[in-house]
């Protein structure tokens, strides 16, 4: 199977790392001042919430679904975090718990009625957005101090976003890729019938995966307001696309339960850098939205190329 | 077998229907401890459905399930079957391709968890593989998706025999040797005999009657959802087994066929194809008006070649030459053939839509006329061709698919094992129609897994590992020769 | 049983009837609040706005009917781009109306062709392909329409807002358009091919259906209709706007799902799109009269879609 560097499996595994290195190198070349802990910190700050949202999306991808609502959901969490969690912490925690429960129910509904996840999550996108507008009608609110303190934490030597990214990647890797129940969760994406025939409940796996996605969506929203200190309903709308792109760039597949938490985190870092790089490279603001779509298409084109080699 | 032995399984009057199809029509089955039970019957006889009931993956409509002496209806499930020590290796593989061999072993065993589970699962499956298939060449860390089909089958079989905290009383093997080579198949059968002697029971389903006759204690024959014979293996021989499975004796059409195959070269060539990327083997040639059989073991490239010919129609292709319009009759009706939301009439006419047009619009009257015509010609049993296609039994659905192909403008008709799960009466009707259409100049390429269907063919090509390995004219074709070519490495 | 009962039963078995019943119920609820005042105006306004949802909805319906996973998320940006293209080409001159319309339709068709190119050549799932395309098209629209504030030609503006006895002319045209598309869906080889592919793509290929050509045309059709909608919408609202298409992302899918088209593919429905479009607009109007804000409107629309698909969605064949 291993035929050296041309091996598609190997290529696919290192594609995220290579693209990260390429973008980082390009930014350093254009602006050498970024090559310092403070510079890196600024560059990568927003990577933490994006990485968490990408992990959330990856859990959904692992069971062959797609979550178009994650952007609205992270926005809602941010709004709750900047209002209730600050003024009435207990109520805030209860509300965030309810959000996670709602995600799990969404997964159960999709499984129970065998519904297409795109339509259900697209409907939920508007529900989250609507609730967020009710919670916080105009931009504002304030993040609880403890969250801004965590996000502003400056460890010696290594910038915080890198520490956070490593922690996220390692924790999720062990929970999903190394634990004995993680095997069942991934198996449910690879061959649901086989998992059901071994006596496991597919409903439980869907519930677990959607609840995990909800949990990481909450973490993403809270870390986001830790950086922005205030919130608004539409604050995280681009996350839907970013999270899908990041997970796919990191080696996850749309079907078949093939996912990679480490890859997803690297993918999220790469995409955050890529959007930052657009300003460094003086891409006109008109084309910045389009460039995001373009990056996603380029990533998928590379993947298609590698996969074709695998078939051939 | 002595009657004093413990009964592991007793099924009584088990029935199951899918839509209009009676998959099981009241089946009784007994399995004793330490017994190897052979289960044979044609495709669609209900063997696999029965095993799904026993494994807990399908709930029967009625009937009693007694396991280990206690009735289990109502509360029987996959989990219950596992607890009672019943395992099943299904015909379609039940491994997760995205997981490693060890992880797949873990899926079967809830008890393998906690610290170091990965190592324990790996050792468990590796030990069992070593025991059953010495020299297997599979590592516990291999991702299943990377393994060849035969190795996956070995992993799945070994997994079924691993034991943790749950007991192991009965292992069902549904066509276990279908993707194994002869050496590993032999290893498996020897292992089965060994553990049967240790007291574990086995149910062996196989198309290879030699395996069943040689390794089983008792043989049960199924036909049309019922058990038609159940006796000790020693009381059967190949001939009595085949006749119990319901094969109707050879009829009189053979003579006419011999005559036709004699002047083969007079008719123009319609199809000339060589399996893509298999330069070593022979090529398949069909002349106008011939019925060509594609034979060999299941899954050895026959369907792929039919698809290759189907795709090559109407365009240039290096390996494939097709001279006329092509239609295909699917064997896997639900996956490849039927449009489940449509009526019977729409399903029949879809291949001929362009003939229904008048000023660019499909005319319902023309559609109805074609549907009525083919209802009568194929004798599709339905009160109304506007009924949904799924209201038909499996055999009649298949007739509708034949009507779709035969009613089209196709000169060449490809058939992908189309008689799966079709009752014998329907088969005989369709055989006659195929022969009549061939007389009129249509060419048929017929992949079949049933040996006696080859008697309808003018010429038979035998496939092995994707290659054409033998080319037998009608006069030289015998079951012996076909089998010999299918297993050449053995001979 | 009386024949009337039988007739009602037959009617209720049609999937599109529910969207009309829903529209009627919401309309009555709105009228109840206002005491019947302005009932006529409400209907006129409803018809005027529903027209645009119907046009994009029909395109989306063709896409969704080709089977699970097929959906066009590039409609909002396409509407924004084609609106700008139409206004710029027309340049406010009555003589340029036809070239402007054609330019808008061509721009739409081009977007659709690109969508299918991404899907086919890069093997990207349609959702992702059309979503990425939406971003690229949006950027094109921003760059193209920068500082653009061209008024529609007077004749065009008059046509898009004209009424006959309180019924918008555009609504009459769209009704005819919908009827034609209904015939295309049910009585042509193309429509049959769409339904065949939606039920089982593999079986369709093996039954001689031109799968690639049909799917290509479906995406081109959807984007072209978005182009038609974009041009008309720009004329109707007195100029193009970048945010013109925003609401149509969800609305186009919602009218298809609520209208009784099977999300699993293979069963399209044209009349239901009309009912659903009326329902969607009336729902918004009703919530407005009851004083509900944007948040509640979003929540209800989202929940209704999920409710409808939950009730209708379980019909996929279990294999």
Domain map (residue ranges) of chain C: 51-266
CB A256 within 8 A of CB A189: yes
Cβ separation of B362 and C267 shorter than 8 Å?
no
Convert the pLDDT of each residue in C66-90 to its tens digit. 988 899 999 999 999 999 999 999 9
Q: Which residue has the higher pLDDT, A56 or B397?
A: A56
Q: Which residues of B touch C185 (CB under 8 A)?
A: none
Q: Which residues pair with B296 in a beta bridge?
A: B463
**CA-CA distance, A273 to A286, in Å (whole number)?**
19
Residue B251: pLDDT band (50, 70, 90) is: very low
Q: How far apart are CA B197 and CA B34, in angstroms?
A: 6
Longest dimension (CA), chain B: 78
Looking at residue C216, what is its pLDDT? 97
**What percent of chain A shows pLDDT beyond 90?**
57
* Tokens 């004209």 found at: C162
CA-CA distance, C35 to C315, in Å (whole number)? 41
Summarize pLDDT for B366-393 with one digit per residue, the tens: 999 999 999 998 888 888 999 999 888 7
Residue B490 has pLDDT above 50, yes or no: no
Task: Collapse the DSSP code of A139 into the 3-class scheme (helix H, G, I; strand E, B; otherwise coil) and give the result.
Answer: coil
CB-CB neighbors (< 8 A) of B110 in chain A: 199
Least confident of A10-14, A214-218, C181-185: A10-14
| Class of residue C238 by CB neighbours under 10 A (exposed 0-12, middle 13-18, buried 19+) | middle
CA–CA distances in Å: residue B374 to residues B344, B345, B353, B367, B402:
11, 9, 15, 11, 9
Q: So what's the pLDDT on residue C123?
A: 83
- A266-303 tens-digit pLDDT: 999 988 888 888 878 888 888 888 887 888 788 788 87
Q: How far apart are CA B222 and CA B40, in angstroms?
A: 6
Query: For C35-74, what is each residue's pLDDT tens digit?
Result: 777 788 888 999 999 999 999 999 999 999 998 889 999 9
pLDDT, position C11: 73
Instruction: Label residue C117 by pLDDT band (50, 70, 90).
Output: very high
Give the β-pairing of B218-223 and B226-232: antiparallel
> Over pLDDT 90: what percentage of chain B?
40
Residue A8 touches chain B, beta carbons under 8 Å: no
Contact C276, C254 (CB under 8 A): yes
pLDDT tens digit sequence for B53-63: 999 888 899 88
Q: How far is A106 from chain C (nearest CA, A)?
A: 10
Q: Distance (Å, rounded) from C-alpha A156 to C-alpha B399?
A: 76
Q: What average pLDDT does this structure show over B125-146?
A: 92
Please determine, for residue B160, whether its predicted confidence score (pLDDT) is greater than 60. Answer: yes
Lowest mean pLDDT, pick from B33-47, B119-133, B154-168: B33-47
Mean confidence (pLDDT) of chain C: 89
Q: Is A122–C250 a contact, with Cβ atoms under 8 angstroms apart? A: yes
pLDDT at residue number B2: 44
Query: Per-residue pLDDT averaged across B311-333, rounded?
Result: 85
The secondary structure of chain B, three-state, reads CCCCCCEEEEEEEEEEEECCEEEEEEEEEEEECCCEEEEECCCCCCHHHHHHHHHCCCCCCEEEEEECCEECCCCCCHHHHHHCCEEEECCCCCCCCCCEHHHHHHHHCCCCCCCCHHHHHHHHHHHHHHHHCCCCCCCCCCEHHHCCHHHHHHHHHHHHHCCCCCCCCEEEEECCCCCCCHHHHHHHHHHHHHHHHCCCEEEEECCCHHHHHHHCCEEEEEECCEEEEEEEHHHCCHHHHHHHCCCCCCCCCHHHHHHHHHCHHHCCEEEEECCCCCCCCECEEEECCCEEEEEECCCCCHHHHHHHHHHHCCCCCCCEEECCCEEEECCCHHHHHCCCCCEHHHHHHHHHHHHHEECCEECHHHHHHHHHHHHHHHCCCCCCCCCEHHHCCHHHHHHHHHHHHHCCCCCEEEEECCCCCCCHHHHHHHHHHHHHHHHCCCEEEEECCCHHHHHHCCEEEEEECCEEEEEEEHHHCCHHHHHHHHCCCCC
A103: burial class by Cβ within 10 Å (0-12, 13-18, 19+)?
Answer: buried
Radius of gyration from C-alpha coordinates of chain B: 24
* B466-476 tens-digit pLDDT: 889 888 888 88
Share of chain A above pLDDT 70, in %: 96
Q: Does residue A92 surpass a pLDDT of 90?
A: yes
Residue B467 bridge partners (DSSP) = B464
Region A74-91: what's the mean pLDDT?
95
Q: Which residues of A touch C78 (CB under 8 A)?
A: none
Q: How many whole angstroms separate alpha carbon A138 and alpha carbon C294?
A: 12
Q: How far is A61 from chain B (nearest CA, A)?
A: 13
CB contact under 8 Å between B99 and A183, yes or no, is yes
B491 has a pLDDT exceeding 60: no
Closest by Cβ to A191, choosing from B55, B96, B118? B96
Q: Find the CB nearest A191 among B55, B95, B117.
A: B95
Say how far residue B437 (Cα) sits from the centre of its chain: 26
Distance CA(C35)–CA(C24), nearest Å, equals 16
| Residue A76 host element (H or E) | helix A70-82
Percent of chain C surpassing pLDDT 70: 96
Q: Tokens 């389009």, residue?
A: A290
pLDDT at C134 exceeding the cut of 70: yes
Residue B450 and residue B419 in contact, taking contact as beta carbons nearer than 8 Å: yes
**Residue B343: beta bridge partners?**
B388
In terms of pLDDT, which residue wins out, B44 or B445?
B445
The number of C-alpha atoms within 13 Å of B76 and in the hemisphere containing its C-beta is 27
pLDDT band (50, 70, 90) for residue B261: low
End-to-end CA distance of chain A: 14
Instruction: Tell me which residues of chain A, numbers 156 to 215, contact chain B at a CB-CB cutoff of 8 Å.
Output: 178, 180-181, 183-184, 186-187, 189-191, 193-200
Split at pLDDT 50, 70, 90, the class of B260 is low
Start-to-end C-alpha separation, chain C: 38
> pLDDT tens-digit profile of B202-225?
999 987 788 889 999 999 999 888
Per-residue pLDDT band for C318 (boundaries 50, 70, 90) equals: very low
Q: Is the CB of B107 less than 8 angstroms away from the CB of A1?
A: no
Which residues, 6+ apart, have CB-to-CB distance to C250 below 8 Å? A122, A123, A125, A126, C301, C302, C305
pLDDT of B182 strictly over 90: no
Q: Residues C141, C81: contact at Cβ < 8 Å?
A: yes
Q: Which chain A residues contact residue B113 at CB under 8 A?
A: 180-181
Q: Which ipTM value was assigned to this complex? A: 0.89
Residue, of C30 and B362, whose pLDDT is higher: B362
CA atoms of A259 and A257, how far apart (whole Å): 6
pLDDT at A7: 67
Residue B348 has pLDDT above 80, yes or no: yes
B362 touches chain A (CB under 8 A): no
Inter-residue contact A82 to A142 (CB < 8 Å): yes
Task: State mean pLDDT over A238-260.
Answer: 87
* B99 touching chain A per CB within 8 A: yes
In the predicted model, what is the mean pLDDT of residues B223-250? 80
Of B330, B336, B340, which has the smallest distance from its Cβ to C317's Cβ?
Answer: B340
Contact present, A300 and C121 (Cβ < 8 Å): no
Domains and CATH numbers, chain A: 46-311 (1.10.3470)
Tens-digit pLDDT profile for residues B324-337? 899 999 888 888 88
Stretch 6-65 of chain B: residues touching chain A, C-beta under 8 Å: 55, 57
Kindly tell me if the per-residue pLDDT of C162 is higher than 80. yes
């Amino acid at each position: 199977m291993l035929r050296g560097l041309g091996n598609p499996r190997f290529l696919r595994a290192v594609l995220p790392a290579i693209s990260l290195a390429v973008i980082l190198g390009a930014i350093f070349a254009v602006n050498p001042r970024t090559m310092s802990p403070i510079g890196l910190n600024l560059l990568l700050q927003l990577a933490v919430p994006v990485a968490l949202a990408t992990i959330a999306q990856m859990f959904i991808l692992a069971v062959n679904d797609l979550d178009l609502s994650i952007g609205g959901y992270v926005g809602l969490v941010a709004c709750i975090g900047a209002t209730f969690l600050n003024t009435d912490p207990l109520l805030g925690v209860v509300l965030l718990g309810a959000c996670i429960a709602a995600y799990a129910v969404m997964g159960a509904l999709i499984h129970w009625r065998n519904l297409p996840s795109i339509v259900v999550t697209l409907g939920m996108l508007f529900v989250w957005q609507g609730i967020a507008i009710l919670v916080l009608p105009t931009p504002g609110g304030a993040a609880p101090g403890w969250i801004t303190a965590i996000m502003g934490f400056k460890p010696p030597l290594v910038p915080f976003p890198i520490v956070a990214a490593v922690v996220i990647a390692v924790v999720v890797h062990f929970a999903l890729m190394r634990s004995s129940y993680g095997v069942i969760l991934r198996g449910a994406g690879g061959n649901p019938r086989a998992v059901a025939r071994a006596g496991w409940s597919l409903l439980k796996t869907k519930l677990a995966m959607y609840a995990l996605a909800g949990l990481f969506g909450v973490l993403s929203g809270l870390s986001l307001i830790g950086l922005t200190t205030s919130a608004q309903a539409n604050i995280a709308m681009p996350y839907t696309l970013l999270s899908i792109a990041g997970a796919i760039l990191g080696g996850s597949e749309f079907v078949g339960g093939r996912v990679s938490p480490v890859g997803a985190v690297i993918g999220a870092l790469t995409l955050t850098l890529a959007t930052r790089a657009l300003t460094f490279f003086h891409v006109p603001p008109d084309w910045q939205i389009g460039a995001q779509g373009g990056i996603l298409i380029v990533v998928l084109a590379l993947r298609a190329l590698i996969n074709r080699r695998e078939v051939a | 077998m002595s009657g004093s032995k413990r009964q592991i399984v007793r099924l009584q009057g088990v029935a199951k229907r899918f839509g209009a199809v009676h998959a099981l029509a009241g089946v009784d089955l007994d399995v004793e401890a330490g017994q190897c039970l052979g289960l044979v019957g044609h495709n669609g006889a209900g063997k696999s459905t029965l095993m799904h009931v026993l494994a807990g993956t399908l709930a029967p409509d009625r009937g009693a399930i007694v396991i280990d002496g206690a009735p289990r209806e109502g509360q029987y499930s996959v989990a219950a079957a596992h607890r009672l020590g019943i395992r099943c290796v299904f015909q379609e593989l039940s491994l997760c391709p995205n997981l490693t061999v060890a992880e797949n072993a873990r899926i079967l065993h809830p008890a393998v968890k906690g610290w170091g589970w990965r190592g324990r699962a790996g050792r468990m499956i590796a030990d069992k593989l070593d025991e059953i298939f010495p020299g297997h060449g599979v590592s516990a860390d291999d991702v299943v998706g990377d393994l060849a089909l035969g190795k996956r089958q070995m992993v799945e079989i070994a997994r079924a025999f691993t034991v943790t905290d749950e007991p192991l009383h009965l292992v069902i093997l549904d066509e276990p040797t279908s993707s194994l080579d002869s050496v590993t198949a032999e290893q498996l059968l020897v292992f089965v005999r060994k553990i049967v002697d240790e007291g574990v029971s086995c149910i062996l389903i196989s198309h290879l009657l030699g395996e069943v006759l040689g390794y089983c204690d008792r043989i049960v024959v199924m036909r049309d959802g019922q058990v038609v014979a159940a006796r000790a293996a020693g009381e059967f021989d190949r001939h009595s087994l085949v006749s119990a499975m319901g094969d109707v004796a050879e009829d009189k059409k053979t003579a006419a066929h011999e005559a036709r195959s004699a002047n083969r070269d007079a008719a123009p060539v319609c199809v000339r194809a060589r399996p893509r990327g298999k330069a070593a083997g022979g090529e398949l040639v069909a002349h106008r008006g011939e019925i060509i059989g594609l034979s060999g073991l299941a899954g050895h490239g026959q369907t792929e070649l039919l698809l290759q010919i189907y795709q090559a129609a109407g365009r240039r292709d290096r390996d494939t030459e097709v001279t006329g319009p092509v239609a295909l009759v699917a064997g896997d009706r639900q996956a490849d053939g039927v449009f489940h939301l449509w009526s019977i009439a729409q399903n029949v006419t879809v291949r001929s839509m362009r003939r229904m047009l008048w000023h660019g619009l499909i005319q319902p009257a023309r559609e109805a006329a074609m549907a009525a015509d083919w209802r009568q010609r194929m004798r599709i049993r339905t009160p109304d061709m506007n009924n949904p296609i799924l209201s038909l039994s499996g055999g009649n659905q298949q007739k509708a698919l034949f009507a779709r192909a035969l009613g089209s403008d196709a000169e060449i008709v490809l058939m992908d094992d189309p008689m799966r799960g079709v009752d014998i009466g329907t088969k005989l009707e369709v055989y006659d129609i195929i022969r009549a259409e061939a007389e009129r100049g249509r060419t048929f390429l017929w992949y079949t897994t049933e040996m006696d269907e080859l008697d309808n063919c003018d010429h038979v090509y035998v496939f092995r590992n994707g290659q054409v390995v033998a080319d037998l004219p009608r006069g030289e074709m015998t079951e012996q020769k076909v089998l010999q070519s299918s297993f050449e490495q053995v001979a | 049983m009386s024949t009337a009962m039988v007739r009602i039963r037959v009617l209720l078995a049609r999937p599109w009837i529910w969207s009309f019943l829903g529209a009627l119920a919401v309309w009555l609820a709105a009228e109840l609040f206002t005491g019947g005042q302005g009932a006529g105006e409400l209907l006129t306004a409803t018809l005027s706005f529903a027209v645009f949802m119907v046009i994009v909805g029909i395109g989306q319906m063709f896409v969704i009917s080709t089977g699970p996973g097929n959906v066009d998320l590039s409609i909002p940006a396409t509407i924004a781009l084609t609106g700008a293209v139409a206004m710029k080409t027309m340049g406010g001159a009555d003589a340029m109306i036809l070239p402007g319309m054609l330019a808008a339709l061509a721009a739409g068709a081009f977007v659709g062709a690109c969508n299918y190119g991404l899907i086919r050549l890069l093997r990207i799932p349609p959702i992702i392909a059309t979503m990425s395309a939406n971003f690229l098209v949006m950027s094109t629209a921003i760059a193209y329409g920068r500082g653009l504030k061209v008024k529609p030609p007077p004749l065009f503006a008059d046509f898009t807002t004209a009424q006959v006895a309180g019924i918008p002319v555009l609504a009459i045209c769209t009704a005819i358009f919908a009827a034609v598309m209904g015939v295309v869906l049910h009585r042509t080889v193309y429509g049959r091919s769409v339904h065949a592919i939606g039920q089982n793509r593999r079986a369709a290929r093996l039954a001689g259906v031109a799968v690639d050509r049909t799917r290509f045309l479906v995406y081109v059709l959807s984007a072209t209709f978005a182009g038609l909608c974009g041009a008309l919408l720009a004329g109707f609202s007195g100029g193009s706007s970048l945010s013109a298409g925003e609401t149509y992302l969800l609305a186009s899918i919602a009218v298809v799902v609520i209208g009784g088209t099977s999300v699993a593919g293979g069963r399209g429905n044209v009349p239901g799109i009309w009912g659903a479009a009326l329902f969607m607009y009336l729902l918004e109007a009703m919530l407005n009269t009851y004083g509900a804000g944007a948040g509640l409107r979003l929540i209800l629309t989202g929940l209704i879609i999920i409710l409808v698909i939950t009730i209708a969605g379980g019909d996929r064949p279990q294999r």
